[in-house]
Amino acid sequence: MSNHPELTRPEQSSSSVAPSAAVQTLFSYPQIRKLALFTGLLVLCFSKPLYDLIRFAVRSDLFSHVLLIPFISAYLVWLKRDSLRPGAPMSRGAAFGWAAAGLAVLIGYWLGARSGIIAGRLDYLAWTTFSFVLFFIGVCFWCLDRATLSAVAFPLGFLLFSAPFPHFMVHAIETFLQYTSALCAHLFFSLSGMSFIREGLMFQLPGIHLEVAPECSGIHSTLVLFISSLVAGQLFLRSFTARTLLALAVIPLGILRNAFRIWTIGELCVHISPDMIESPIHTRGGPLFFALSLIPLALFLIWLRNRSK
């Protein structure tokens, strides 16, 4: 039994407690204070790569979202604050396991960098940030009990998205989205009766030549959509199956969205003017098509939510 005070007074409901009072009460637990201390030391140890990550993310088109991930995780933990009653820490062996994994990632990156297998700023930030998250999870296992860890399992796992993908993973995802989007766009052009010739990622349309380049893969919007589906599933769905289905639905949805964009641009170039390839719908139309893809995702979320009631 813990001798620490409860988060609410008997005469108050948990919803009426001021946020500052809830924070002060939560930090009255020695486990939370220890977690804050160890986290500060960990941030200090990784201060150089974390600073480099912030500078990189601010200028990145693909990984600008990583700066939001820790705040989203913190908010998800905050939603569970009334149920957090930290007790005796669980087995320290698990904490050493996570720390060992973080150390192994650092050693693997160092060996890869020395041998030339791993090179470039993206890989440096990807592996060092991934190592930092693994160490942080180890710190949580060192300081917190099993019930608390179970309550914050999703926010902890969600922190993995704060690490940018290494170069090989970015290339693999881009290639997958390029070829699947081209295949789906092929179907759209066929259904619309368009006369065309396709060779891999190349489309020869009447009066215009289109190529599904890596910049046209839609990797950023698909990644953001996937992350959004994970958060939405956690907030609005109860079953693991429903959450998994919502997240998996992003893959075909992202392919269809990108293929629809390719088809739209192709149709505009053929029926209006080849100059439409330089129009805002091509150069800056990503947010529009991303917003359109949110509609079927939201409808699917509502269907899953109603089905699970």
Q: What range defines the domain where residue 103 resides?
A: 18-163
- pLDDT value at residue 281: 75
**285 found inside a domain:** yes
Single out the residue in 121, 148, 163 at which a domain terminates.
163
If phi > 0 it is left, if psi is from -120 to 50 it is alpha, else beta; for residue 91 that is: beta
97 & 46 share domain = yes
- pLDDT value at residue 40: 95
- pLDDT value at residue 106: 94
pLDDT of 148 strictly over 50? yes
229 & 254 share domain = yes
Q: Indicate the pLDDT class of residue 118, thresholds 50, 70 and 90.
A: confident
Per-residue model confidence as pLDDT tens digits over 13-36? 444 445 555 555 565 677 888 889
Q: Indicate the pLDDT class of residue 70, thresholds 50, 70 and 90.
A: very high
Query: Which of the pair, 110 or 93, is modelled with greater confidence?
Result: 110
Q: Whole-prediction pTM value?
A: 0.83
Single out the residue in 163, 184, 217 at which a domain terminates.
163
Query: Which of the pair, 203 or 288, is modelled with greater confidence?
Result: 203
For the chain, give the mean pLDDT: 86
Query: Which of the pair, 81 or 234, is modelled with greater confidence?
Result: 234
Per-residue model confidence as pLDDT tens digits over 218-277? 898 899 999 999 999 999 999 999 999 999 999 999 999 999 998 998 988 888 888 888
**3 found inside a domain:** no
pLDDT of 12 strictly over 60? no
200 & 299 share domain = yes
39 & 144 share domain = yes
Per-residue model confidence as pLDDT tens digits over 192-221? 888 888 988 999 998 888 888 887 788 988
pLDDT of 88 strictly over 90? no
148 & 46 share domain = yes
**87 found inside a domain:** yes
What distance in Å separates the CA atoms of residue 91 and residue 94, rounded to the nearest whole number?
A: 6
Among residues 30, 34, 3, 9, the alpha carbon closest in space to that of 21 is found at: 9
**22 found inside a domain:** yes
Least confident of 74-78, 136-140, 288-292: 288-292
**207 found inside a domain:** yes
253 and 225 in contact (C-beta within 8 Å)?
A: yes
Question: What is the total count of domains within the chain?
Answer: 2
33 & 101 share domain = yes
Per-residue model confidence as pLDDT tens digits over 156-201? 999 999 999 999 999 999 999 999 999 999 999 999 888 888 988 9
Question: What are the backbone angles phi and psi of residue 213, rounded to the nearest 5°?
Answer: -80, 165
- pLDDT value at residue 214: 82
What distance in Å separates the CA atoms of residue 180 and residue 173, rounded to the nearest whole number?
A: 11
96 & 115 share domain = yes
What distance in Å separates the CA atoms of residue 8 and residue 237, rounded to the nearest whole number?
A: 27
- pLDDT value at residue 22: 54
Percent of the chain with pLDDT over 90: 55
Least confident of 11-15, 77-81, 291-295: 11-15
Percent of the chain with pLDDT over 70: 88
